[in-house]
Amino acid sequence: MNIQFDLINARIKTVYGPSTQNIQKLTFHSKNATESSLFFAIKGENHDGHLYIEDAIKSGAVAVVGSDSSILKRFTEKYPEITFVDVEDVRIAMAYFSKHFHNSPDERLKTVGITGTNGKTTVAAYVRSLLTLLGMPSGSIGTSGIYTSKHKIPYKKSTPTTPESVDLHQIFHDLIDANDSAVAMEVTSIGLDQKRVAGVYFDVAIHTNLSVEHLEYHKTFENYKECKLQLFRQAHSAVINVDDEGMGQDLLDLFNGPTVTYSLMPETEADLKAVNIKHSDTGTTFTLEVNQKAYEVYVPVFGEYNVANVLSAIGTAMLLGYNIPRILHVLTKLESPEGRFQIIEVPPNQKVILDYAHTPVALTRLVEEVRKLKHSRLIVMIAGIGIRDFEKMPKMAKAIDGKADEIIVTVDHPGHHDPSIIVDKVMTGFSDPRATHIHRTNTRREGVLKSLELGGEGDIILLTSGCINGAQIVKGKEIPHSDEDIIHSYSYMTS
């Protein structure tokens, strides 16, 4: 594609060298630069892309976008045939260049952005499933991977949840090629802060809930909340959880566009309310109150918090033009995401439940719902996540303390930390860390196996925490890992 740099709305200050270049690839990693590529020199917490400009040029980059004027001026004297673009914010520029490079694919899709501390992955899956069932084929982007309306597609994402903008617009383009007409995507606070969705104007923004998380990045809860609120400044309409004390009222005060509110509280004045919630081994029934009418609803999901997530998907469909009778007609076929209250039956008459709840609030809610299922004993595995806030780790222990017959403490994504130190930190949250029913393991694989070994007839084994993308992150490398593979292998060996 021929790009005329001074015509792109990317907050450009100065263009040095040729104003037009033939660009075949966008990259922010100098190692990925190839012939006719455009390199974005991002200044991050640990690395400064400006230090790798020459490496990118030697690999074939014909244009560089950066924000350090003095460095760019120096390079333009050395490489007059290369275009150097001086911008206010490289990440914002990268988002707009990526959108332009792929011919604004976000504007050819109905875009649904989901933010919240808990529930983003589940809501993205519910929205993808519901819209597809309604005849609007939808893909999804998030922690569990990239999906078209038909299947999961292999994609090496640049980040665990919200992709960098160069990847995001490529994915949008791929969904259009797959004949999808909508996309539901998780939009994290970090993704918003790092401008990964800059330039995207969402048709619908969904708010699930807000509690303390990611303080290792945001430092304060107010910074965290402010990043979440940004999504709704980039949205045409909004679905708001009015039960959420963390951000619900803020959004009602802030947002001026069309809204659908939802609640599990009978006394609220929400647009969508679920009452008389009843659980079974196959799903959940409830009464849906909407527009002064009541409908009896069955959905193949588990947990009251997932009923709230279903309401958010219903609200999204309403804002996109679908009526309640049509929505309810297909709701019984709703599909849940992989690894979210996923039940695997194993001998002898045991249930293994995978749910990657990784915050104290999510863990508390999950255990409350699991305990409602018929069982003999409850065995729960929790984890400290090495790439997250260490101060959250003891809170995970406090959330499960006294609520399970056996507790296994393990490690997710140790990163560059010693796993035993992570486990030590989690253990400080227990009232009695030396209790005989609390067990330590130093890898997730060991934790899953220990949980299965402790299980007996009629038990529920609940495996929690943040295993993502089929891998464990250890010292900067992704080590393949699958809880399901371990479970099935163990069942085969012991049956």
What's the pTM?
Answer: 0.85
Tell me how far apart the alpha carbons of residues 244 and 209 are, in angstroms, rounded to a whole number.
5
Q: How confident is residue 337, by pLDDT bands cut at 50, 70 and 90?
A: confident
Tell me how far apart the alpha carbons of residues 343 and 339 are, in angstroms, rounded to a whole number.
9
The verdict on domain 342-494 having CATH code 1.10.1760.20 is: no
- Give the pairing of strands 138-142 and 145-147: antiparallel
Task: Look at domain 2-101 and name its CATH class.
Answer: alpha beta
pLDDT tens per residue, range 279-292 = 887 899 999 999 88
Encode 180-226 in three state secondary structure: CCEEEEECCHHHHHCCCCCCCCEEEEEECCCCCCCHHHHCCHHHHHH
Does residue 415 have a pLDDT over 90?
A: no
pLDDT tens per residue, range 444-472 = 999 999 999 999 999 999 999 866 567 88
Lowest mean pLDDT among 213-217, 270-274, 469-473: 213-217
The average pLDDT across 415-440 equals 95
Does residue 49 have a pLDDT over 90?
A: yes
Q: Which residue has the tokens 């012991």?
A: 494
Does residue 81 have a pLDDT over 90?
A: yes
Q: Which residue has the tokens 């018929």?
A: 374
In one-letter notation, the amino acid at residue 418 is D
Q: Where in the chain is the domain with CATH 3.90.190.20?
A: 342-494
- Across the chain, mean pLDDT equals 92
Tell me how far apart the alpha carbons of residues 147 and 257 are, in angstroms, rounded to a whole number.
29
Q: Give me the pLDDT at residue 151, please.
A: 93
Q: Give me the pLDDT at residue 300, please.
A: 94
Q: State phi, psi for 247 to the nearest 5 degrees.
A: -150, -5
Q: Give me the pLDDT at residue 158, please.
A: 62
Percent of the chain whose pLDDT exceeds 90: 72
pLDDT tens per residue, range 216-238 = 665 687 878 888 898 999 999 99
Q: Angle CA(199)–CA(91)–CA(105) in degrees, nearest 5?
A: 35
Q: Where in the chain is the domain with CATH 3.40.1390.10?
A: 2-101
The average pLDDT across 398-407 equals 96
Q: Give me the pLDDT at residue 352, please.
A: 95
pLDDT tens per residue, range 342-395 = 889 988 889 999 988 888 888 998 999 899 888 999 999 999 988 777 888 999
Task: Look at domain 105-331 and name its CATH class.
Answer: alpha beta
Tokens encoding 424: 């030590």
In one-letter notation, the amino acid at residue 463 is L
Q: Give me the pLDDT at residue 67, please.
A: 96
pLDDT tens per residue, range 118-138 = 889 999 999 999 999 999 999
DSSP string, 369-432: HHTTS--S-EEEEEEEETTS-GGGHHHHHHHHTTS-SEEEEEEE--BTS-HHHHHHHHHTTSS-
Comparing 288 with 413, the larger pLDDT belongs to 288
Q: Give me the pLDDT at residue 465, please.
A: 85
Q: Where in the chain is the domain with CATH 3.40.1190.10?
A: 105-331
- Whether 92 and 86 have beta carbons less than 8 Å apart is answered as no
